[in-house]
Amino acid sequence: MNWPDTDTRAQWLSKEDLDSVRGRMPILYVEAVPVRVDATGAVTAVGLLLRASDGGRIQRELVSGRVLYHERIRDALVRHLEKDLGPMALPRIPASPQPFTVAEYFPTPGVTAFHDPRQHAVALAFVVPVHGDCAPQQDALDLAWLSPEEAAAPDILAEMDGGHGVLLRQALAHLGQAV
């Protein structure tokens, strides 16, 4: 099927329109666990962002964001990785990206392990190797590269809200790391 060239940047919704849509239907997101790998492909480090929440709490997060209308999943992944890690992050998206899990966020706590008080959202979660220079961007305060063992530590997972700690544990298990 031939799709016309479409500028997805023109497809952003106003805050009012987004709030209206969020109250009516699930929104599609991508989430990425950025990793550093050695020459054999073994994960040596996991990148976690540090951000201030809307409530002023400092917490660790994964790279995450909406998929725009007419945007391929791979393009959404690259856009959000570059937005949070910088334009020189150099993410390596596989030729056929496959999520390690699908996370379903509900505005009602307890329906699943994933909670977002703003909306019902469905997130495709990927582990993405990055090879370039990374630095926190946008509203990220810091980017910490932790060994897989450090990233799985209970005190680190406790700093992650909304189910991101669960998602990180699932990513590490998917990678064959002890969790």
**Max alpha carbon distance in the chain (Å)?**
49
Q: What is the pLDDT of residues 24-60, one digit of tens each?
A: 788 999 999 999 999 999 999 999 999 988 778 899 9
Domains of the chain: 24-174 (3.90.79.10)
From CA 115, how far away is CA 133, in angstroms rounded?
32
Q: What is the pLDDT of residues 78-128, one digit of tens each?
A: 999 999 999 999 999 989 999 999 999 999 999 999 999 989 999 999 999
